[in-house]
Amino acid sequence: MNTSGIQLELTAEDEAKLGGEHGPGVAMAMRLVVALARISQAPRLIDIESAHIDGCLYHGQAGLDFVEKLVGLGARVAVPTTLNVASLDLLHPGVVRLSPAESRAAQRLMDAYVAIGARATWTCAPYQLAGRPTAGTDIAWAESNAIVFANSALGARTARYGDFVDICAAVTGRAPFAGLHVIENRVPTIELDCSSIPDRVLDSPAAWAALGFAVGRRVGEEVAILTGITPSLVDEDRLKALGATAASSGGVALFHVAGATPEAIIAANSWPPPGTRCVEITAETLRAARDELSTAAVGDRLDAVSLGTPHFSLTEFAELAASLHDGEAFAPSCTVWISTSREMLGLARDNGYARTCEQAGARLIVDTCTYLVPVLSDTVRTAMTTSGKWAWYAPANMQIDVAFGTLAECITSARSGRVTRDDSAWS
Q: For residue 344, give the CATH number of its domain.
A: 3.30.499.10
d(CA 290, CA 152): 23
Residue 287 shares a structural domain with residue 343? no
pLDDT given at position 425:
85
What is the distance between the terminal CA atoms of the chain, rounded to a whole angstrom?
A: 42
Q: Count of domains in the chain?
A: 3
Residue 34 shares a structural domain with residue 97? yes
Domain encompassing residue 68: 12-182
Residuewise pLDDT in 10s, the chain (427 residues): 444 568 999 999 999 999 999 999 999 999 999 999 999 999 999 999 999 999 999 999 999 999 999 999 999 999 999 999 999 999 999 999 999 999 999 999 999 999 999 999 999 999 999 999 999 999 999 999 999 999 999 999 999 998 999 999 999 999 999 999 999 999 999 999 999 999 999 999 999 999 999 999 999 999 999 999 999 999 999 999 999 999 999 999 999 999 999 999 999 999 999 999 999 999 999 999 999 999 999 999 999 999 999 999 999 999 999 999 888 999 999 999 999 999 999 999 999 999 999 999 999 999 999 999 999 999 999 999 999 999 999 999 999 999 999 999 999 999 999 999 999 888 8
Residue 223 shares a structural domain with residue 324? no
Q: Is residue 284 part of a domain?
A: yes
Residue 153 shares a structural domain with residue 199? no
Residue 23 shares a structural domain with residue 63? yes
Residue 24 shares a structural domain with residue 143? yes
pLDDT given at position 4:
55
Q: Is residue 427 part of a domain?
A: no
Residue 83 shares a structural domain with residue 130? yes
pLDDT given at position 6:
83
The residue out of 243, 271, 291 marking a domain boundary is 291
Please name the amino acid found at residue 199: D
Contacts of 174 (CB under 8 A, 6+ apart): 14, 17, 30, 33, 45, 46, 47, 48
Q: Is residue 355 part of a domain?
A: yes
d(CA 64, CA 115): 13
The residue out of 291, 322, 343 marking a domain boundary is 291
> Which class for 171: exposed (0-12), middle (13-18), buried (19 or more C-beta within 10 A)?
buried
pLDDT given at position 126:
98
- Is the distance from CB of 75 to CB of 45 less than 8 angstroms? no
- Is the distance from CB of 212 to CB of 277 less than 8 angstroms? no
For residue 363, CA distances in Å to 95, 124, 259, 348 come to 10, 19, 38, 13
Residue 45 shares a structural domain with residue 135? yes
The residue out of 165, 182, 199 marking a domain boundary is 182
Residue 163 shares a structural domain with residue 18? yes
pLDDT given at position 3:
44
Residue 278 shares a structural domain with residue 331? no
Residue 153 shares a structural domain with residue 19? yes
Residue 67 shares a structural domain with residue 175? yes
Alpha-carbon torsion angle 336, 339, 345, 347, nearest 10:
-90
